[in-house]
Structure 1
Amino acid sequence: MASSILEKSPLKIRLCGPRGFCAGVDRAIQIVVLALKEYGAPVYVRHEIVHNRYVVEGLEAKGAIFVEELDEIPVEHRKQPVVFSAHGVPKSVPEDAEARNLFYLDATCPLVSKVHKQAMRHQRLGRHVVLIGHAGHPEVIGTMGQLPPGTVSLIDTIADAEAYVPEDPDNLGYVTQTTLSVDDTAGVIAKLQERFPNLTAPSADSICYATTNRQEAVKEAAPGCDLFIVVGAPNSSNSKRLVEVALRAGAKRSLLVQRASELNWDEIGRIGTLGLSAGASAPEVIVDEIIAAFKDRFDAEIELAITAEETENFLVNRELRNVPLTVDDMAWVNGARA
């Protein structure tokens, strides 16, 4: 039972902005919702459309079926669309889809696609590609899969950059995963540039605007926080980076939380200042859920920490642009489903 108002201790909640869904995530979810409206269930999705179980389970309830490989799609459903996730896929995946006569819709974030093009440009100009990113992440697998075998090397840490021995140290070009820590990546790039002065940068920063903006807001809010909570999934790279950024920026503790039900109130204890943000694949409804849980136990006051305004909007696939989105559809896409 919730404590009475007289027993509640004061709490300042520093709520970060921007937070939550980015334009690429919003577009990817719209693509699945629109495909379900246009073609009916089931709509298959290769890999989690975005790294958030709340979103995935909601889409499953609407008729989406998530698979890891295209051979999981039954023969009788091959006329139904299959959507590729926002993280991007290797070139072999659409080739496989075409070989199976599957109708596919690519929900790759346009900013990830831009990294693919930058990597391919390096390779086309004869440079060996250095990809800064985390091994095994779907985005890294997708980017490496744009290039012929042996033309790309993966670097994760400064130690990797220190140990890297390329065949031609004067003919390298780098790109990065879009969801990395800005500060960590700067250190890796600096080490590579120190060792390989002729290293060629991409034509534009590979870390996406949403990742950078969310990290800057966390840096603004974190100093002096007794606890900093990031709403996000454990397999969400950008969400995990926000936890690290909060600690480095001065938060005493930082947690990654998927739902309010995961909060351990005994471990949280008595706190005076809480920082709160959400990764780019976390819907706002869960942020509201977390705030409500703290208001139930504390006399909480919201303080906004806004460092940027985001106005980006990415168009969905041409095949879906004439499918109407209702107010209810948009509310669902924006994370407000019940």
Structure 2
Amino acid sequence: MLNTSPTKPDKPVLTIRLCEPRGFCAGVDRAIQIVVLALKKYGAPVYVRHEIVHNRYVVEGLETLGAVFVKELADVPADGQPVVFSAHGVPKSVPAEAAERELLYLDATCPLVSKVHKQAQLHVKRGRHVLLIGHRGHPEVVGTMGQLPAGTATLIETEDDVAGLMPEDPAMLGFVTQTTLSVDDTAGIVAALAARFPDMAAPSSESICYATTNRQEAVKAAAPGAEVFLIVGAPNSSNSMRLVEVATRAGALAGHLVQRATDIPWAIIGAGSTIAMSAGASAPEVVIDEILDAFRARFDVRIELVRTAEENENFPVMRSLRDTPLTNADMAFVNGDNRPVVAFGGN
């Protein structure tokens, strides 16, 4: 029988430059793994002070497993269950309060954030006033400032702040930075500080973390000529927001932050376009796949991989959790490769 049904036209072509590295970093992997391992070892609930990482998909997935997210330690009952501190780090007062209440706590602070804490403390030990380059109110900044005695640190957010800085002893200054800043913005602030205070001491090693730098370099390589640059991440994720800024500065005509496929700005994405895509360090790969699938439903998608670095870093969890086994499904969730319901179904 002759088929007289109309033929469907071919989908229009869309080129997507997909950045690599993108998404989860070793610090995020470690933090999520700590919560999953704690749930395995101690059972639910496991309390988590603040978002373990800045991504609602991850947070909601952990909630389905029995994690309970709280704002402060005062919200944690004395029921013998552990509380986990987020990857962004906490002030010294938080573990001190936990110890005073005899709470079992697990510190998921990223080792690279802990390194900044130590660098800041070393400046103070050597008699320097600390200049912390970062964003006011960000949990990492709150945590770093909370490592130091009152009055020994000043937050620097912009080059204008540098111009208005009047230290007691210009010869005794040392700086550190939030790990998730724009490399270029930070370089400008550091240069301005060095011009005013030539005796200022630098940290013993770079404060901005490898993952932040690597993702920004990949975005710079993919941005020129892209009509739209999509960054998968959360609006409260500093490193994701910096990627949007880097994309537009590097040549993309428009940069957009998207949390899920429902956020794709379809109105400005036309047939034959070249767009680019990356993801912040707390965005799971499953969300990236979801967004790519949404594009494939509308377009004949051609993927161009833009790879600028290879990441093999691995940060081990604390000793108390290392003997707790993880299944392949557990690891799929930890690595952001599966949806929580699928990854943990039947376990």
What is the TM-score normalised by the length of structure 1? 0.97
- Which of the residues 68, 72, 76 maps onto 2:75? 72
- Counterpart in 1 of 2:53? 50
- Cα contact 2:13–2:271 (8 A) shared by 1: no
Who is 1:15 aligned against?
18
1:89-119 deviations in whole A, cap 9, x for unaligned?
0000000001111000000000000000000
Structure 1's 5 and 36: CA in aligned 2 closer, same or farther, altered over 3 A? farther
**Aligned runs of 1:202-241 on 2, under 5 Å?**
202-241=203-242
**What CA distance in whole angstroms lies between the structure 2 residues aligned with 1:132 and 1:321?**
35
Q: Give 1:206 shift.
A: 0.1
Decide whether aligned partners of structure 1 residues 327 and 173 sit closer, same or farther in structure 2, where only a CA change above 3 A counts: same
Unaligned 5+ segments in structure 2 are 1-6, 343-347
Q: Which residue matches 1:314?
A: 315
Contact 2:14 2:271 in 1 (8 A): no
Cα distance per residue 1:109-148 (max 9 Å; x no partner)? 0000000000000000000000000000000000000000
In structure 2, distance between residues paired with 1:284 and 1:111 = 22
The answer on whether the counterparts of 2:174 and 2:200 sit within 8 Å (CA) in structure 1 is yes
Question: Would you say the 8 A contact 2:261–2:291 is kept in 1?
Answer: yes
| Equivalent residues in 2 for 1:165-184, closer than 5 Å | 165-184=166-185
Displacement of 1:162 in angstroms is 1.5
Q: Measure, in 2, the Cα distance between the counterparts of 1:275 and 1:152.
A: 39
How many residue pairs were aligned? 333
2:65 alignment counterpart:
62
Q: Deviations over 1:202-240 (max 9, x none)?
A: 000000000000000000001000100000000000000
Query: How far does residue 270 in structure 1 lie from its aligned partner after superposition?
Result: 4.3
For 1:8 and 1:50, how far apart are their aligned partners in 2?
A: 37
Bigger mean CA deviation after superposition, 289-298 or 218-227: 289-298
Structure 1 pair 273–92 and aligned structure 2 pair: CA distance change class (3 A):
same
- Offset, 1:271: 5.5
1:44-87 Cα deviation digits (max 9, x unpaired): 00000000000000000000000010011123x2x100000000
Q: Provide structure 1 residue ranges, at least 5 long, that are not aligned to the other structure.
A: none
Q: Quote how far apart the aligned CAs of 1:164 are.
A: 1.2
Listed as ranges, the matches of 1:242-261 within 5 Å are 242-261=243-262
Whichever of the two has the greater Rg, that structure is 2
TM-score (structure 2 length as normaliser): 0.94
User: Which whole-Å CA distance do the structure 2 matches of 1:291 and 1:309 have between them?
Assistant: 22
1:145 and 1:260 map into 2 onto residues whose CA distance is 38
The separation in 2 between residues aligned to 1:5 and 1:269, in whole angstroms, is 19
Instruction: Show the counterpart of 1:6.
Output: 9
- Rounded to whole Å, the distance in 2 between the matches of 1:5 and 1:317 is 56
Cα drift, residue 268 of structure 1: 3.4
Q: How much identity, in percent, do the aligned residues show?
A: 69
- Check conservation: 2:162, 2:189, Cα contact below 8 A: yes
Q: Name the aligned partner's letter for residue 18 of structure 1.
A: P
Structure 1 residue 165, shift from structure 2 partner: 1.2
What pairs up with 1:1-338 in 2 under 5 angstroms? Answer: 6-75=9-78, 77=79, 79-270=80-271, 272-335=273-336, 336-337=338-339, 338=342
Which secondary structure does the structure 1 equivalent of 2:9 belong to?
A: helix
